A and B are shown apart, each in its own frame.
Chain A
C-alpha cells in the first residue's frame, strides 16, 4: 500500500481528468457539427477580406479553436508572402 494513500492524499491527475471530461462532454452534447460549419464560413470570409489587400495562399491560413470551460477562443494564423514575392 502506498504510504500517501494512508494519509488520505488524492492524486491530482484524477481531478484534471474530470475537468477535461466535463468540458469535452458539454461541448459534444451541444454540438452537431456547428463548430466546423462556423469555422468553415469564418475562414472563407476572413480569406476574402485579407485577399483584398494581400496575395495569400489559401492553404497558409490556419484557424484554431480552443474550447475552455466558459470561453472558446479562435486563433487565426495567416502566413504572409515572403519579402521577395512582394
Chain B
C-alpha cells in the first residue's frame, strides 16, 4: 500500500483560483522534496499547463491515458525547474464523456505508486469532470472568494464531497480545508467584504490559508510560473507556502500576508521586478 495523498482542489464556481491554487500548492510540496503530480481534470478547457508553463511540451493527456493510447509515464510532463514535479494535462477534446469512472480510478491508482502527493485541479461546476476530480481524493481544498455566490457554491461542493466520493461511500468523512483567495484586507476592515471568520462560520470548514488579492498572481501566470516559484516573498506566495505547511500537518496560525506599503517599499519593489 502506498502512502500517497490525493488532494482535490475544488470550488464549484469558476474563476475563484482553483488552477492558481493547484499550481502553487503542488510546487510548494515539490519544493519540500516530495514527489508531486498535478492533474488537470478540466477536459476541453485545460489551463493548468499554461499556469505551470508547460504548454509547449504537452503531447499526451489524461484522455489518451484513460483510453490506453499512451502510458502514464509518457503523458507526464516534467516541470522545467523542479524535477520531482509533474503535470498530467487535461485533453482539449470536446467530448465530455471522454473520462470514465474506471479509467480515472486506474490512473489515480497507478499514480499513487509513483508519487507522494497527487493534486487534482477540478473544473468548475458540479458535473462529471468535477465529480471525477473529487472521486478518489483523500482530502479536499475548497477555494472560495469572500463573496456570496462563491461561498454558496462551495456549500454545494461540500455536500458532494460528503456524498459522491469514495471516502464518503466507504463511510468515512473527507477532511476539508478552506482556502480563501482574492482577499482584500482593507475592504474587510471597512465591512464591505465578507471577513474570513464570516466565511469559516458559514461553511464550517477549517481555514488552511488566506491569499490576498495581488498583482503578483497575474504576473506569475503571465510568465507561466506557479506563484510560489515566481516570487516566494510575494504576499500570495507566502500565503500558499504557509497553507502548504498546514497541509503537511504543521500547526501554525493563519496569517494574511500583506503588500509592503510606503514609498520606499514601492520604489525598491518596482526596481527589482
**Set A3, A13, A14, A63: member contacting B74, Cβ < 8 A:** A63
Given contacts A4-B270, A36-B64, contact A16 B222 (CB under 8 A): yes
Whether the Cβ atoms of A20 and B50 lie closer than 8 Å is yes
Top 8 nearest A-B pairs (CB, nearest first) are A17-B222, A13-B222, A67-B56, A4-B270, A13-B219, A16-B223, A24-B55, A39-B59
Note all chain B residues with C-beta closer than 8 A to A13. Answer: 218-219, 222-223
Does B125 sit at the interface, judged by CB under 8 A? Answer: no
Binding-face segment, B65-73, B158-166, B188-196: B65-73
Number of interface residues of B (CB under 8 A): 24
Does A23 sit at the interface, judged by CB under 8 A? Answer: yes
Report B62-88 residues with CB < 8 Å from chain A CB.
64, 69-71, 73-74
Instruction: Tell me the total A-B contact number using a CB cutoff of 8 A.
Output: 55
Does A11 sit at the interface, judged by CB under 8 A? Answer: yes
The residues of A with any CB-CB pair to B shorter than 8 Å are 2-4, 11, 13-14, 16-17, 20, 23-24, 28, 35-36, 39-40, 43, 59, 62-68
Note all chain B residues with C-beta closer than 8 A to A63. Answer: 59, 74
Report B235-273 residues with CB < 8 Å from chain A CB.
263, 266-267, 270, 273
Chain B residue nearest in CB terms to A67: B56
Does B103 sit at the interface, judged by CB under 8 A? Answer: no
Does B221 sit at the interface, judged by CB under 8 A? Answer: yes
Known contacts A17-B222, A43-B74, A66-B57, then 17 further A-B pairs from the complex at CB < 8 Å, ordered by chain A residue: A3-B270, A13-B218, A13-B219, A13-B223, A16-B222, A20-B50, A23-B56, A28-B92, A36-B64, A36-B70, A39-B60, A59-B73, A62-B74, A64-B57, A65-B56, A65-B57, A68-B56
Whether the Cβ atoms of B273 and A11 lie closer than 8 Å is yes
Task: Give bound CA distance, A79 to B152, whole Å.
Answer: 51
Note all chain A residues with C-beta closer than 8 A to B267. Answer: 3
The residues of B with any CB-CB pair to A shorter than 8 Å are 50, 55-57, 59-60, 64, 69-71, 73-74, 92, 218-219, 221-224, 263, 266-267, 270, 273
12 contacts between A and B (CB under 8 A): A3-B263, A4-B270, A13-B218, A17-B221, A20-B55, A24-B50, A24-B55, A36-B60, A36-B69, A36-B70, A59-B73, A64-B57
- Interface of B (DSSP majority class): helix
Whether the Cβ atoms of A40 and B222 lie closer than 8 Å is no
**Set A3, A17, A68: member contacting B266, Cβ < 8 A:** A3
Task: Give bound CA distance, A4 to B270, whole Å.
Answer: 7
Task: Give bound CA distance, A67 to B59, whole Å.
Answer: 10
Task: Give bound CA distance, A2 to B116, whole Å.
Answer: 42
Chain A residue nearest in CB terms to B71: A59
Task: Give bound CA distance, A67 to B56, whole Å.
Answer: 5
Note all chain B residues with C-beta closer than 8 A to A59. Answer: 71, 73
Chain B residue nearest in CB terms to A16: B223
Question: In angstroms, how far is the closest chain A Cβ from the Cβ of B61?
Answer: 8
Task: Give bound CA distance, A80 to B94, whole Å.
Answer: 39
Task: Give bound CA distance, A32 to B73, whole Å.
Answer: 22
Note all chain B residues with C-beta closer than 8 A to A67. Answer: 56-57
Question: In angstroms, how far is the closest chain A Cβ from the Cβ of B17?
Answer: 18
Task: Give bound CA distance, A62 to B73, whole Å.
Answer: 8
